[in-house]
């Protein structure tokens, strides 16, 4: 039935619409939605609910804006999915990718072969990385990057003559991807519950969320306390069994959880004390999100491995990888022999060409410095002002990511607010008002988050925050009408 309409009714308008500059569309949205729900299994989606509402069909992007198939224009407050750092519609990205596709669309890096963009990108990443990083392993995604981390860490300790060091410690509510190893490293209870996860050897400690766990402490005290959970876990497992600790400098998908400044230096001290490898998952924090090339540089720690993806290509083409620091590289690369790991698309020439052009744009436009000195501070001030809204308990930001908590009753401090009952799903309600009124924000429970493209100007930040305020008003009215306040 659905396939009957593919040829004539759906594809024709889809193909006919490609007119840059036009904000209207001639898409048959309903037909697309029907085909979508009939055939396309979406990631992290309740398909029963999707079928009722129908997916929103995105058709075009330019700068910080997206257009859907009905011609609605929205501010993309989430950079796609934390990745479109240089914004949509960059002609030089298209050219770089097209040029490489003409020249050499694919070749593998197995069997003593390589390709020009992969070589140049590896060298460029090493220039940008913190001192001590001289090697890169390429993957197709952030999940594959973290799978690679697991395999590298285990292989490293095997080569070091300590094969019993297999435990990897991560944190509850962390996100490290959705492959079996990635989901195991991650601390998403809902993901673990749907399979036999985590795999053996992966352990979790609590996240450094001051709002959740910091009652009765100063933020500085809490940072040390939260890092102390790592030491307790290492001692519980036996230091001789612990291979690595992995964390995002700022937890992204978990809801922009910003640890106190005392946290990461103490984590570093503990890892050093027990010889445990330290892994920074920079899939979100890497490439300027926090105002530094890598988040560990801002947070004051020196990881042994850095996982990256998303912002490395601004999402234009999938690419991920692992930067390998001196300690692991010396063992694995210099005396490890064959490392039996890799992907068909490791070092994909088109993806690497996209990354090179993306990094050139970021450097030419000084985007990392702009986040540190101009747009990041502006976003912080704007979000601090949103905290005065009756529905907002508190707001936080770091670089170009920010979050606010929707609360039923405001209090003096983060621990004095009254939360909405989870089952009311006020975050989702708020998200829908945002989505319908021209701004994309993500809801993590009752925490509303943004991570806009790094090219967003201060004027555009104001435009976005005005819209957010308007939608908070709509949400407040809605919540009051339902008698939930
Ligand atoms: C998105 C993300 C991943 C997974 O990356 P994919 O490309 O979706 O596989 C891993 N770690 C973090 C911190 C992420 O945000």
If one residue of 138, 141, 294, 315 were mutated to test the ligand 1 pocket, choosing by the most ligand atoms within 8 A of its CB, it would be 141
Closest C-alpha to 389, from 484, 474, 481, 483: 474
* Contact present, 113 and 107 (Cβ < 8 Å): yes
Whether omega for the bond prior to residue 421 falls within 30 degrees of 0, making it cis, is: no
Residue 347 alpha carbon to ligand 1 centre in Å: 18
Our answer on whether the CB atom of 281 is closer than 6 Å to any ligand 1 atom is: yes
Ligand 1 binding pocket mutation candidate from 253, 309, 451 (most atoms within 8 A of CB): 309
Q: What is the distance between the alpha carbons of residues 107 and 334, in angstroms, rounded to a whole number?
A: 25
Q: 3-state secondary structure string, the chain?
A: CHHHHHHHHHHHHHHHCCCCCCCCCCCCHHHHHHHHHHHCCCCCCCHHHHHHHCCCCEEEEEECEEEECCCCEEEECCHHHHCCCCCECCHHHHHHHHHHHHHCCCCCCCCCCCCHHHHHHHHHHHHHCCCCEEEEEEECCHHHHHHHHHHHHHHHHHHCCCCCCCEEEEECCCCCCCCHHHHHHCCCHHHHCCCCCCCCCEEEECCCCHHHHCCCCCHHHHHHHHHHHHHHHHHHHCHHHEEEEEECCCECCCCCECCCCCHHHHHHHHHHHHCCEEEEECCCCCCCCCCCCCHHHHHCCCCCEEEECHHHCCCCCCCEEEEEEHHHHHHHHHHCCCCCCCCCCCCCHHHHHHHHHHHHHHHHCCHHHHHHHHHHHHHHHHHHHHCCCCCEEEEEEECCEEEEEEEEECCCCHHHCEECCHHHCHHHHHHHHHHHCCEECEEECCEEEECCCCCCCHHHHHHHHHHHHHHHHHHHHHHHHCCCC
Asked if CATH classification 3.40.640.10 holds for the domain at 93-364, the reply, yes or no, is yes
Which amino acid residue places its CA nearest to atom 5 of ligand 1? 142
Compute the chain's Rg from CA coordinates.
23
Task: Tell me if 252 CB under 6 Å of ligand 1.
Answer: yes
Give the class (CATH, top level) of 56-86+367-481. alpha beta
285 vs 254: CA distance, rounded Å: 13
What is the side-by-side strand order in the sheet with 305-308? 133-139, 320-325, 305-308, 277-281, 242-247, 167-171, 202-205
- Please state the atom number of ligand 1 nearest to the C-alpha of residue 310: 7
- 311 CA from centroid of ligand 1 (Å): 11
Beta-carbon contacts of 101 under 8 Å, excluding residues fewer than 6 positions away, are: 350
CB atoms within 10 A of CB 39: 10
Test site for ligand 1: of 84, 183, 310, most ligand atoms within 8 A of the Cβ: 310
Alpha-carbon gap, residue 314 to 312, rounded angstroms: 6
Q: Do domains 56-86+367-481 and 93-364 have the same CATH topology?
A: no
**Where does residue 179 rank: exposed (0-12), middle (13-18), buried (19+ CB within 10 A)?**
middle
pTM of this prediction? 0.95
Whether residue 322 has its Cβ less than 6 Å from ligand 1: no
Which residue has a Cα nearest atom 11 of ligand 1? 176
Nearest ligand 1 atom to alpha carbon 248: 13
147 touches ligand 1 (CB under 6 Å): no
Cβ–ligand 1 distance for 309 under 6 Å, the answer: yes
Q: Is 253 in the pocket of ligand 1 (CB under 6 A)?
A: yes
CA distances from 345 to 43, 235, 348 (A): 21, 39, 5
Q: Is 293 in the pocket of ligand 1 (CB under 6 A)?
A: no
Q: Is 143 in the pocket of ligand 1 (CB under 6 A)?
A: yes
CB 438 within 8 A of CB 73: yes
Q: Pick the residue whose CA is nearest to atom 13 on ligand 1.
A: 283
What pLDDT is stored for residue 19 in this prediction?
A: 53
* 79 CB within 6 A, ligand 1: no
Atom 14 of ligand 1 has which residue's CA nearest to it?
283
Spans of the chain below 50 pLDDT: 1-8, 15-17, 23-24
d(CA 55, CA 1) in angstroms, rounded, equals 19
Between the CA of 178 and the centroid of ligand 1 the distance, in Å, is: 8
> How much distance in Å is there from the Cα of 325 to the middle of ligand 1?
20
Spell out the domain ranges in the chain. 1-47, 56-86+367-481, 93-364
Atom of ligand 1 nearest to the CA of 284: 15
Task: Tell me the pLDDT tens digit for each residue of 420-465.
Answer: 999 999 999 999 999 999 999 999 999 999 999 999 999 999 999 9
Residue 27: its pLDDT value, please? 80
Q: Rounded to the nearest whole angstrom, what is the distance from the C-alpha of residue 32 to the centroid of ligand 1?
A: 28
Atom of ligand 1 nearest to the CA of 82: 15
384 Cα to the center of ligand 1, angstroms: 28
Per-residue model confidence (pLDDT) at position 384? 97
| Ligand 1 centroid – CA 159 distance (Å) | 28
For ligand 1, say whether the CB of 177 is within 6 Å of any of its atoms: yes
Tell me the best of 283, 316, 449 to mutate to test the pocket of ligand 1, counting ligand atoms within 8 Å of each CB and taking the most. Answer: 283
């Amino acid at each position: 039935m659905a396939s009957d309409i593919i040829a004539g009714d759906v594809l024709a308008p889809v193909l006919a619409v490609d007119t840059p500059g036009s904000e209207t569309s001639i898409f048959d949205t309903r037909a697309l939605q029907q085909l979508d729900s009939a055939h396309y299994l979406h990631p992290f989606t309740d398909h029963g609910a999707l079928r009722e509402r129908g997916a929103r069909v995105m058709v075009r992007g330019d700068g910080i804006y997206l257009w859907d198939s009905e011609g609605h224009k929205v501010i993309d407050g989430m950079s796609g999915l934390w990745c479109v750092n240089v914004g949509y519609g960059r002609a030089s990205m298209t050219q770089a990718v097209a040029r490489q596709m003409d020249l050499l669309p694919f070749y593998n890096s197995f069997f003593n072969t390589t390709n020009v963009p992969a070589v140049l990108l590896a060298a460029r990443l090493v220039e940008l990385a913190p001192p001590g990083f001289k090697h890169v392993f390429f993957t197709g995604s952030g999940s594959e990057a973290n799978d690679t981390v697991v395999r590298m860490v285990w292989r490293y300790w095997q080569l070091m003559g300590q094969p019993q060091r297999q435990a990897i410690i991560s944190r509850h509510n962390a996100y490290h991807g959705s492959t079996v190893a990635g989901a195991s490293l991650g601390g998403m209870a809902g993901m673990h519950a749907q399979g036999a996860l985590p795999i053996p050897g992966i352990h979790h400690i609590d996240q450094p969320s001051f709002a959740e766990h910091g009652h009765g402490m100063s933020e500085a005290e809490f940072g040390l306390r939260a890092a102390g959970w790592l030491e307790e876990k290492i001692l519980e497992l036996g230091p001789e069994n612990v291979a690595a600790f992995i964390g995002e400098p700022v937890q992204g998908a978990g809801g922009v959880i910003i640890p106190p400044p005392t946290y990461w230096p103490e984590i570093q001290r503990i890892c050093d004390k027990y010889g445990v490898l330290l892994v920074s998952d920079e899939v979100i924090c890497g490439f300027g999100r926090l105002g530094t090339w890598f988040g560990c540089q801002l947070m004051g720690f020196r990881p042994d491995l850095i996982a990256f993806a998303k912002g490395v290509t601004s999402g234009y083409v999938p690419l991920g990888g692992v930067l390998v620091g001196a300690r692991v590289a010396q063992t694995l690369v210099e005396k490890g022999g064959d490392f039996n790991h890799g992907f068909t698309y490791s070092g994909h020439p088109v993806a690497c060409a996209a990354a090179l052009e993306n990094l050139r744009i970021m450097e030419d436009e000084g985007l990392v410095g702009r986040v540190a000195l101009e747009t990041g501070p502006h976003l912080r001030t704007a979000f601090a002002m949103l905290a005065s809204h009756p529905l907002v308990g508190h707001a936080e930001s770091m670089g170009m990511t920010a979050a606010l908590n929707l609360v039923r009753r405001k209090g003096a401090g983060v621990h004095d607010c009254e939360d909405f009952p989870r089952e009311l799903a006020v975050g989702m309600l708020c998200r829908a008002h945002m989505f319908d009124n021209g701004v994309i924000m993500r809801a993590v429970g009752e925490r509303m988050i943004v991570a806009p493209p790094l090219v967003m100007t201060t004027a555009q930040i104001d435009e976005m925050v005005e819209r957010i305020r308007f939608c908070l008003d709509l949400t407040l009215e809605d919540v009051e009408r339902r008698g939930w306040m």
